[in-house]
Structure 1
C-alpha cells in the first residue's frame, strides 16, 4: 500500500501548503464558525438562539451588517495559517516516524495517533491564543463592545490576565485539537490509503469528498470539547471546570453537543476546502522548492 502523500515532501513545503490551506479555509467558512460560536456562548435572557446556522447569519446580517459576521475573522485566519501550517508539518513528519518500517504505511490507529500528536503541538503553538481572541471578540460584540479589534482585545486580555488570559481554555482547546486532528487527518489518510489500493484517481472532487467525510467524523466525535472550549474562552473567560458546570446547568448532557448542526455545516464545507487547497498548494509549491534547492545545491558545489 502506498502512503497517502509523497514520503519525501519537505517540511517547508508541508508548512507553507498547510498555512495557505488554513487561511483559505478559515476565511471562506467563517460566517458558519461565527454562528456556531454564538450558539455555544451563554444565551441572553429572553432572547432565544435559533438552531439553524443560516438563520443566525441572516439575523446578525440584518441587525448588525456584514462586518459583524466577520468579527474575529482576522484572528482566526492568522491562527489557522499558523495552526494548519504546524498541523500539516508535524503530521507529515510524525506520520513517517509512526510508519511501518517494512512497508512505509500506517495502520488506522497509527494514523489517529499521528494526528493526535500534531493536534497537541498545534494547540500549544498557535490555536489556543488565537481561538481565545476570536471567541472573546464574538462574545464581546453581543454586549459591551469594549474590544475594538483583535490587537486591542489581545492587549486588554494581556493587561487584565497576563499570558494565562490568552491561554484560557487551554485544556479544552488541546483536547479538541488533539481529537479533531486525529480524526480529521486520520480519516482523510485512511480514505486515501483505501482509494490507492483500488487505483481510484486522486482529483479535486475526490479530495473534497474525502475532506468532507473527515469533517463529519471529526464533528460528531469531538463536539463536547468544542463546546467546553467556547464557554472557557468567552469575553471574560472561565476555567474548564466552570465551563463544564455551566453547560450542565444550562442544558444538561445534551448541551455538550450544542451547535453540532452548525459545526457540521462548517466542517463538511471547510474539510473539503482544507484538504483540496493543501493538495493544490503542494503541487504549486513543490516545483518552486525543488528548483530553488537545485539552484542552491549547484551554487554550493
Structure 2
C-alpha cells in the first residue's frame, strides 16, 4: 500500500484539507501559463489578432499592463482549485475504497481511471464549473469591455443577468474535461505509484514530482479538446457548447481543438508535479496534527 493519494488510511478530513492546500499552491504558482492558454483559446478581437504563441501573449501583456494583469482572474481560480482539489482528493480516496480489490486493497488500472472520472464529475458540479466561468469571463472581459471590477463583481453581474445558469455556462465541456482529466491524472499517478511500490522504488519529493509531471502530460494530450470547448463557452458573454464547437471549427478547423496545448502542457507538467508533491507534503503535516487533536478530544471526552 502506498502513501498519500493512494493511502486508504488517510482520514477524509485530511484528504480534503491537503487537497485544498495543494490546489491553492498549484493554481497560484502556475497561473500566468493558465492566463496565456485561456487568451489563446478565446476568439480574437476584430482587428486585434491574438498571437498564436502563448509565450508571446505573456510577454505582450506583461509589457503593456504589468505583472498584475497576468493574474487577472487568479483569485477565482485559486478559490476554485482549493475547493476542486479538496473535493477531488477526498472523493478519489473514498471512491478507491469502494473500488479496491478486497484481498489486496489495490486498484487495477481501469478502476483507477474510473475512480478518477467519478471524482472529476463531482468536482465539476460542486466547484470547478462556476469558478472556471468567472476566471474565463474576467480574462475575456479584461481585453474587451472591462466592466468586471473583481471576481465578486463578475459573479454578481453574471448572476443578475443570467441567474445561476449563467455561472454554469460551459458545464458540459467542463464536466467532460474534469471527468477525463481527473481520470487520467489521478489514475496515471496512482498506476505509477503502484508500479514503483511493487518494485520498492522509494517515494520522495523527486519521485512524486516526476509522477505528477508524467500524469500531467497524459492528461493534457487526452483532454485538450474539452478544455478549448470549455473556454469558448465561458467567455464574457457566454455561449452554448454546440456554438463553442462550431466557432472553433470555423476559426481553425479540427486542429483548433488543440489550441493552447503548448502552454497547457507546460502548465500541467509543472502544476502536476507541484500538486501531488504539495499534497503528499500536506498529508504528512496535517495527518499528525489531526491525529493529535482527535486523541486529545478523545481523552477529554473520557474525562
- TM-score, normalization: structure 2? 0.97
Aligned residue number for residue 14 of structure 1:
15
Paired residues for 1:166-205 under 5 Å: 166-205=167-206
Paired residues for 1:73-84 under 5 Å: 73-84=74-85
Q: How many residues are aligned here?
A: 301
Structure 2 counterpart SS, 1:283: helix
Structure 1 counterpart SS, 2:6: coil
Q: CA deviation at 1:2?
A: 5.3
Aligned residue number for residue 221 of structure 1:
222
Aligned residue number for residue 211 of structure 1:
212
List, as ranges, runs of 4+ consecutive aligned residues in structure 1 with deviation greater than 2 Å: 1-6, 45-54
User: Would you say the 8 A contact 1:2–1:105 is kept in 2?
Assistant: no
Q: Distance in 1 between matches of 2:7 and 2:190?
A: 12
Q: Distance in 2 between matches of 1:221 and 1:256?
A: 11
- Spell out, residue by residue over 1:147-187, the C-alpha distance to the aligned partner (whole angstroms, 9 max, x if none): 00000000100010000000010010000000000000000
Aligned residue number for residue 54 of structure 1:
55
Q: CA deviation at 1:141?
A: 0.4
Q: CA deviation at 1:6?
A: 2.3
Q: CA deviation at 1:51?
A: 3.2
Aligned residue number for residue 237 of structure 2:
236
Q: Distance in 1 between matches of 2:173 and 2:93?
A: 25
Paired residues for 1:66-145 under 5 Å: 66-145=67-146
Q: Distance in 2 between matches of 1:47 and 1:234?
A: 17
Aligned residue number for residue 148 of structure 1:
149
Q: Distance in 2 between matches of 1:261 and 1:136?
A: 22
Structure 1 counterpart SS, 2:105: coil
Q: CA deviation at 1:8?
A: 1.0
Q: CA deviation at 1:66?
A: 1.0
Name stretches of at least 5 consecutive residues in structure 1 with no aligned partner. Answer: none
RMSD of aligned Cα (Å): 1.0
